[in-house]
Chain A
Amino acid sequence: MKNYTLIFSFIFSLSFLNGQVKEVSLVSKMNGQKTLIDGQDIVFWGYGIDDPSSQNNKIFLPGPVLRFDVGDTVIIHLRNDSPEDHTIHWHGLDVDQANDGVPHTSSPVNGGGAEFTYTFVCKEPGSFIYHCHVLTTLHLSMGMYGLFIIDSEVENQIYNDSGKYTKEYNYLFSELNTSWNANPLSPGPFYLYEADYGMVNGWAGPEIKVKNQSITGDLEDSIGMRLANTGYGRVETIFPNDFEVKVYGSDGREVNSFVTDTIQMFPGERFGVVGYPQSTINDSITVNYYDLNNDELYFTNYIPVNISPTSSTISQNLETLIVYPNPFDTDITIDNIGKKDTATITDLNGKQVWKGALTKGQNKINLNVEKGIYVLSFGGLQVKVVKQ
């Protein structure tokens, strides 16, 4: 099967002003396919950006990151292009009953193409989760979830009053009970659920590095991290030595900050933390997944952390800009831009072939150049892109 090489982070913010009305269209489907690191092919259910005219009209595991500014009024259209009912519950966002996404108190979105529009205000900055609330035990486990981020009033800061960072990495921890994904229509008694696969933003094992989830920076950086656990077990994150981590908030609310080397995250919890490198680091964040029935460890992932003494080099920067498709034909999409700045694209001889501004969020560049390798430079970061 095709391995998706992108994280589809759908960022609708086009300016730094708060209080805008922003609109997103999502689709829910039950036909996702994924190959696990052991080669096993599974089916997943999930959400994608609803764009039938685009090749991106697919679902992802997890769903696209939804990101807004505090104060925004959000309008989210869901089209359910699947045979069963689904909804979206906005976990932790404290929306009103009509928009809560619970079928028996709000409204189901029927299968076969029914549509529903959720509308609410992003009241507090922080990290949240969205997920289906129809037969939640099964539907969430099948992959119907994603990360929802609300940026604070202050740029590059997790909360309004704390959590300043120079670089950010956001991690949604989840799990699979692969036997359910292999046979979701006959999962058997629900109480026999037993997770056996842990993920970081949908990836596991060596995929985490390959899929650009590593933390890179230098000693001058402060690393903002939004952490969320959407699994049914306990997730333990153990940070490397010399990476001082301070917790600034949880569940979209600030707390009295404290330093820790380990965070225990139970189902549905989120934390906003900042890591401060105390020396160069070539290590990993250990992510342990525990079964709550017996507190047994069943899976471990590692998020590489590479902190260099000086400004980043090209080889490190290759992992930090999310650019796709790559190779490309005429258009390149660049995700997760945190701050407006000028970008350039040069060929391998250093000749500039494009220059322009990239704004916060998602950007598209139309580039008519000859076949070959080019270097996209932005904010001190560089990535190779290939015209096919």
Chain B
Amino acid sequence: MKIKFLVAISLIVFSISSYAANVDTLYVLKTNVTFNGTSFQKGVISDSLNPVQFDNAVLDLTGGNTNTFLLINTDTISYDFYLNTNSSLTWTIGAEDTITVNLPVLSSGTHAILSSTTEGELLGTACILRVDLHGDYLYSWDLWDMNADLSQEIALTNVLNIPSNYQPNVFTINADPLAPMDTSNAIIYGNVGDTIIISVLNSGNMVHNIHFHGYHITIMGASVQSNRIGWSKDSFPIYEGETMTLRLVPDQPGIYPVHNHNLVTVIYNNNYPSGMMTMLKINP
């Protein structure tokens, strides 16, 4: 019992320290990421430059309050940003400039700051905002897709839109194309009976689809599919730019995959399983 308690405490500390930025400053950047010999460009709102974190930051905000943070643009182009749940709320930051981002009181749930600048939009430059979410564990998944060669052209500002013959070959969760591996911060740890809250953002360029093995989840919030709030599902889409809040209460122990059921996305470098697949590891 004591061991279980210590494991639970350590997991909480791990999840908070790993996924929620506790900083006053965030950084806009483009970075070349290499996994298993394949490189691609990724846009990021990062919570650290030393070392560079190339997965988008996650901010935990308290409901009922306004919030402020400093945003530093390390890139040589300017960016426009907006809130996905209120597109009239916008920010512009010049090249290598610094601004203060003032967030109004936001409703409980998952929101995201997204970029409307071509490079930021296509390369998934974003920030997840978790507002007033409570559970035994909080996790976040940021889903993003890209074609590796195309990403290099986007970074060179040679691309205006996703082409009609788009064939992505990079699929990531939290900027990691090897999300099933133990090194991924996408893996969910918990215990039977826990309340696990998962914030999900699709910062990619196409609809993605999530399938849970072993469990149904409850859709607690969805910025696009509001008609599905309250549904209990094992397979569901998440649209481009959409944020969702999922509640998982495991009723059985085990190790189960959770993955995109467009099965082209669970590949990286032609290896399976990779890409948009990660694991649920639930203790008794």
Asked if A72 is at the interface of the complex by the 8 Å CB criterion, the answer is no
Q: Which of A252, A269, A293, A294 has the most CB of B within 10 A?
A: A293
Digitize B148-168: 1 where CB-to-A-CB distance is under 8 Å, 0 elsewhere.
Answer: 000000000000001011111
Digitize B234-259: 1 where CB-to-A-CB distance is under 8 Å, 0 elsewhere.
Answer: 11110000000000000011111100
Among all A-B residue pairs, the 6 with the closest Cβ atoms: A97-B254, A268-B235, A268-B261, A267-B261, A266-B237, A191-B169
Decide: A137 near B235, CB < 8 A? Known: A189-B169, A267-B209, A268-B261.
no
- For this complex, 11 residue pairs linking A to B, each with C-beta atoms less than 8 Å apart, are A89-B213, A96-B214, A100-B254, A137-B263, A137-B267, A190-B264, A255-B230, A256-B230, A266-B209, A294-B166, A294-B206
A295: chain B residues at CB < 8 Å are: 206-207
State which of B166, B254, B262, B273 has its C-beta within 8 Å of the C-beta of A233: B262
Asked if A16 is at the interface of the complex by the 8 Å CB criterion, the answer is no
B82: chain A residues at CB < 8 Å are: none
Q: Are B231 and A250 in contact (CB under 8 A)?
A: yes
* Extra inter-chain contacts (12) besides given A92-B235, A267-B260, CB under 8 Å: A94-B214, A96-B252, A105-B256, A190-B267, A253-B216, A253-B232, A266-B209, A267-B209, A268-B261, A293-B168, A294-B164, A294-B165
Q: Are B209 and A140 in contact (CB under 8 A)?
A: no
Write the residues of chain A forming the contact surface with B, with a CB cutoff of 8 angstroms: 89, 91-92, 94-97, 100, 102, 104-105, 135-137, 140-141, 189-194, 232-234, 250-253, 255-256, 258, 264, 266-270, 292-296
State which of B164, B167, B236, B253 has its C-beta within 8 Å of the C-beta of A192: B167
Whole-angstrom CA separation of A101 from B264 in the bound complex: 19
Q: Which of A104, A136, A258, A270 has the most CB of B within 10 A?
A: A136
CB distance from B103 to the nearest CB of A (A): 32
Asked if B272 is at the interface of the complex by the 8 Å CB criterion, the answer is yes
CB distance from B153 to the nearest CB of A (A): 17
Q: Who on chain A is nearest to B164 by CB?
A: A294
CB distance from B265 to the nearest CB of A (A): 9
Decide: A234 near B207, CB < 8 A? Known: A136-B263, A267-B235.
yes
CB distance from A158 to the nearest CB of B (A): 15
In the complex, chain B residues 195-210 whose Cβ is within 8 Å of any chain A Cβ: 206-207, 209
B264: chain A residues at CB < 8 Å are: 137, 190-191, 193, 232
Q: Are A296 and B233 in contact (CB under 8 A)?
A: no
B273: chain A residues at CB < 8 Å are: 104, 136
Q: Are A136 and B272 in contact (CB under 8 A)?
A: yes
Asked if B30 is at the interface of the complex by the 8 Å CB criterion, the answer is no
Interface size, chain B (Cβ < 8 Å): 40
Asked if B111 is at the interface of the complex by the 8 Å CB criterion, the answer is no
CB distance from B144 to the nearest CB of A (A): 14
Write the residues of chain B forming the contact surface with A, with a CB cutoff of 8 angstroms: 162, 164-169, 206-207, 209, 211, 213-216, 227, 230-237, 252-257, 260-264, 266-267, 270, 272-273
Q: Who on chain A is nearest to B272 by CB?
A: A135
Whole-angstrom CA separation of A191 from B253 in the bound complex: 33
Q: Which of B166, B215, B233, B264 has the most CB of A within 10 A?
A: B264
Q: Are A251 and B235 in contact (CB under 8 A)?
A: yes
The B contact surface, by secondary structure, is loop
Q: Who on chain B is nearest to A139 by CB?
A: B263
Whole-angstrom CA separation of A121 from B151 in the bound complex: 47
State which of A95, A141, A251 has its C-beta within 8 Å of the C-beta of B216: A251
A270: chain B residues at CB < 8 Å are: 235
CB distance from B254 to the nearest CB of A (A): 3
A192: chain B residues at CB < 8 Å are: 167
Q: Are B231 and A96 in contact (CB under 8 A)?
A: no
Decide: A292 near B206, CB < 8 A? Known: A266-B235, A266-B236.
yes
A100: chain B residues at CB < 8 Å are: 213-214, 254, 256
Q: Who on chain A is nearest to B281 by CB?
A: A105
B261: chain A residues at CB < 8 Å are: 232, 266-268
CB distance from B232 to the nearest CB of A (A): 4
B230: chain A residues at CB < 8 Å are: 255-256
Decide: A96 near B254, CB < 8 A? Known: A140-B263, A190-B264, A253-B232.
yes
Whole-angstrom CA separation of A104 from B255 in the bound complex: 10
Whole-angstrom CA separation of A100 from B266 in the bound complex: 18
A233: chain B residues at CB < 8 Å are: 262
Q: Are A97 and B234 in contact (CB under 8 A)?
A: no
A264: chain B residues at CB < 8 Å are: 237
A293: chain B residues at CB < 8 Å are: 166-168, 206
Q: Are B164 and A296 in contact (CB under 8 A)?
A: yes
B235: chain A residues at CB < 8 Å are: 91-92, 251, 266-270
Q: Who on chain A is nearest to B210 by CB?
A: A268
A141: chain B residues at CB < 8 Å are: 263
B260: chain A residues at CB < 8 Å are: 267
Whole-angstrom CA separation of A104 from B216 in the bound complex: 21
B214: chain A residues at CB < 8 Å are: 94-97, 100
A136: chain B residues at CB < 8 Å are: 263, 266, 272-273
CB distance from A266 to the nearest CB of B (A): 4
B213: chain A residues at CB < 8 Å are: 89, 100, 102
Decide: A292 near B270, CB < 8 A? Known: A105-B255, A136-B263.
no
Whole-angstrom CA separation of A95 from B216 in the bound complex: 11
CB distance from B40 to the nearest CB of A (A): 13
Whole-angstrom CA separation of A282 from B61 in the bound complex: 56
Whole-angstrom CA separation of A284 from B167 in the bound complex: 33
Whole-angstrom CA separation of A292 from B270 in the bound complex: 19
Q: Are A97 and B262 in contact (CB under 8 A)?
A: no
A294: chain B residues at CB < 8 Å are: 162, 164-166, 206
Q: Are B263 and A97 in contact (CB under 8 A)?
A: no
B253: chain A residues at CB < 8 Å are: 97
Whole-angstrom CA separation of A170 from B214 in the bound complex: 24
CB distance from B269 to the nearest CB of A (A): 9
Whole-angstrom CA separation of A94 from B256 in the bound complex: 10
State which of B162, B236, B257, B263 has its C-beta within 8 Å of the C-beta of A102: B257
Q: Are A251 and B233 in contact (CB under 8 A)?
A: yes
Whole-angstrom CA separation of A270 from B233 in the bound complex: 10
CB distance from A180 to the nearest CB of B (A): 11
Whole-angstrom CA separation of A250 from B213 in the bound complex: 16
